[in-house]
Amino acid sequence: MLPVVPIAIAAFGGVSGLRLLMRRRRIAAEDVERHWAATFPGDHVTDKVVAMDGRTALVATDWGAGLLCHGGAEACRIDDTEVDQVPGGLTIRFRDGITAPITVALPSGDAAAWTDRIEGR
């Protein structure tokens, strides 16, 4: 057996396992501020809402709106985005041309309020 085959199998298994772990991580409301402060230590969190599926959270800070993903492992500010209300929540599209759109599962009342907040109304 060529050494490339076991290496390819190990790499594929590792990447697949990591994706599975990241998909299953959930964000708890009490952990949102800690996760946000790890990336943006100068921001003060003023409000937060965790998506119904627990996979993402919207964060309001004294700086502006932000988004936590992957159980809090990723945090980003969402100042240059387009927001669309969709059945079951919001879809956030980043204008950077790199980041994939993210759908946040929210009740309709929260979706409307957060659309206004993200768009600065």
Tally of structural domains, the chain:
1
State pTM to two decimals. Answer: 0.68
Q: What pLDDT sits at residue 21? A: 46
Q: Range of 110's domain?
A: 26-118
Binning pLDDT at 50, 70 and 90, where does residue 22 land? Answer: very low
- Taking only the tens place, the pLDDT of each residue in 40-99 is 999 999 999 888 888 889 899 998 889 998 888 888 888 888 999 999 899 999 888 888
- 2 located within any domain: no
- 82 located within any domain: yes
- 51 located within any domain: yes
- 42 located within any domain: yes
> In the predicted model, is pLDDT for residue 109 greater than 60?
yes
Q: Are 56 and 102 in contact (CB under 8 A)?
A: yes
